[in-house]
Amino acid sequence: MKLTDREKIVVLLAPLAIVLGGYGWWYNVFQRPKMQTAERDYEAAVAAQVKPLDMLEQQTRKKLLDRELDAIKKQKAQLDSLAATAAGHEADPVRRIEAEKQLGDLLRRHGLQLVEEGLAAQASQNKLPGSLAEAVGRFGKPTTARTAQVRRLRLSGTFMNVLAAVRELAALEAPPGVPISLSMSEADSQADYRTWTLLVLM
Amino acid sequence: MKTRCPNTILLVTRDRLVRADLRAGRGKIAVTALYEQRRVAADDLPSQVEAALRQSSKGPGQVWILTSEIWTQSLSLPLESLTGLSTDEVTRALGFEAEPFSNLGAMEAAIASVPETGDGRTKTFWLSEMPNSQLEQIDFVIRQAAGRLAGVSHPGGLPAPFDATLADSSWRRIELWPAAMISVEGKPGAVAKVAVVNSDPRPGRWLNDVPSLAQDSATTTEWLHATSALPVEEIPESGCWSLEDRTALEHFLVTWAEQLAASRANVPQIVPLKRPMSTGVRQAIAAVVGVAALVACVAVQVFVNQHHGYLANETGRLKAATAQVAKLKGDNDKLQTQRDELKKACGQIQADLDHYQEVMRAQRQRLLSLLTVLAHRSTDDVMIRKIEGTENEIVLHGLCMQTEFADNLAGALAAALKHEGWNVQPPSRQSKEMLVGGGPWEFEVHIEDPLAKSPPPAAAQRAGGK
- The string of DSSP letters for B147-170 reads -EEEEEE-SS--SS-SSGGGTTS-
| Residue B258 three-state SS | helix
What are the per-10-residue average pLDDT scores of chain B (466 residues)?
A: 69 92 84 88 85 89 92 88 85 89 89 82 90 92 91 90 83 89 84 84 80 58 87 83 90 89 78 78 87 94 94 94 93 95 94 91 89 82 87 89 87 89 89 78 90 51 38
* Strand partners of residue A113: A156
Judged by a CB distance cut-off of 8 A, whether residue B416 touches chain A is no
Closest in A12, A45, A73 to B318, CB measured: A45
Q: Which residues contact B8 (CB under 8 A, 6 or more apart)?
A: B19, B20, B21, B22, B53, B60, B61, B62, B63, B64, B147
ipTM of the complex in this document: 0.79
Of residues B113 and A141, more confidence is placed in B113
Assess whether B307 and B207 both reside in one domain: no
Assess whether A112 and A155 both reside in one domain: yes
What CATH number is associated with residue A158? 3.30.70.60
Strands (E), B171-295: 171-177, 180-186, 193-197, 220-225, 240-242
* Strand partners of residue B334: none
Using the beta-carbon criterion (under 8 Å), do B386 and A76 form an inter-chain contact?
no
Residues of A in contact with B308 (CB under 8 A): 34-35, 38
State the nearest Cα–Cα gap between A93 and chain B, in angstroms: 21
d(CA A118, CA A96): 13
pLDDT recorded at residue B463: 39
d(CA B96, CA B93): 5
Nearest partner of B200 among B184, B182, B178, judged by Cα:
B178
The 8-class DSSP code of residue B266 comes to -
Closest in B321, B331, B346 to A49, CB measured: B321
Q: Which domain holds residue B344?
A: 276-363
Using the beta-carbon criterion (under 8 Å), do B372 and A185 form an inter-chain contact?
no
Residues of B in contact with A59 (CB under 8 A): 328
pLDDT recorded at residue A36: 94
Alpha helix positions (H), B145-245: 210-213
Tell me the HSE value of B140 on the side-chain side, using a 13 A CA sphere.
Answer: 9
d(CA A198, CA A196): 6
d(CA B20, CA A165): 152
Judged by a CB distance cut-off of 8 A, whether residue B453 touches chain A is yes
Structural domain count of chain B: 3
Assess whether B251 and B299 both reside in one domain: no
Closest in B304, B311, B338 to A42, CB measured: B311
d(CA B56, CA B10): 12
Assess whether A106 and A188 both reside in one domain: yes
Using the beta-carbon criterion (under 8 Å), do A181 and B389 form an inter-chain contact?
yes
Residue B261 corresponds to which amino acid?
A
pLDDT recorded at residue A58: 92
Judged by a CB distance cut-off of 8 A, whether residue B190 touches chain A is no
Judged by a CB distance cut-off of 8 A, whether residue B355 touches chain A is yes
Assess whether B345 and B421 both reside in one domain: no
Nearest partner of B419 among B373, B350, B352, B353, judged by Cα:
B373
B35 CB neighbour count, 10 Å cutoff: 15
Using the beta-carbon criterion (under 8 Å), do B322 and A49 form an inter-chain contact?
yes
Closest in B276, B367, B421 to A131, CB measured: B421
Assess whether B244 and B283 both reside in one domain: no
Q: Is residue B267 part of a domain?
A: no
Q: Which helix (H) or strand (E) holds B375?
A: helix B279-377
Average pLDDT, chain A: 85
Interface of B with A in 333-352 (CB under 8 A): 335-336, 338-339, 342-343, 345-346, 349-350, 352
pLDDT recorded at residue A134: 85
Assess whether B296 and B430 both reside in one domain: no
What CATH number is associated with residue B145? 3.30.420.380
CB B176 within 8 A of CB B227: yes
Q: Is residue A119 part of a domain?
A: yes
Assess whether B196 and B333 both reside in one domain: no
Mean of the pLDDT values across residues A153-172? 92
pLDDT band for position A89 (cuts 50, 70, 90):
low
Question: How does pLDDT run across A7-49, given as a tens digit for each residue?
Answer: 777 778 888 899 999 999 999 999 999 999 999 999 999 998 8
Using the beta-carbon criterion (under 8 Å), do A130 and B450 form an inter-chain contact?
yes
CB B184 within 8 A of CB B159: yes
| Residue A183 three-state SS | strand
Tell me the HSE value of B186 on the side-chain side, using a 13 A CA sphere.
Answer: 23
Assess whether A67 and A119 both reside in one domain: no
Q: Is residue B390 part of a domain?
A: yes
pLDDT recorded at residue B299: 95
CB A120 within 8 A of CB A160: no
pLDDT recorded at residue B5: 63
Tell me the HSE value of A27 on the side-chain side, using a 13 A CA sphere.
Answer: 15
Q: Which domain holds residue A81?
A: 51-86
Judged by a CB distance cut-off of 8 A, whether residue B461 touches chain A is no
State the nearest Cα–Cα gap between A32 and chain B, in angstroms: 10
Using the beta-carbon criterion (under 8 Å), do A20 and B319 form an inter-chain contact?
no
Q: Enter the pTM of the model.
A: 0.53
Distances (CA, A) of B95 to A58, A108, B191, B193, B433: 93, 159, 22, 20, 176
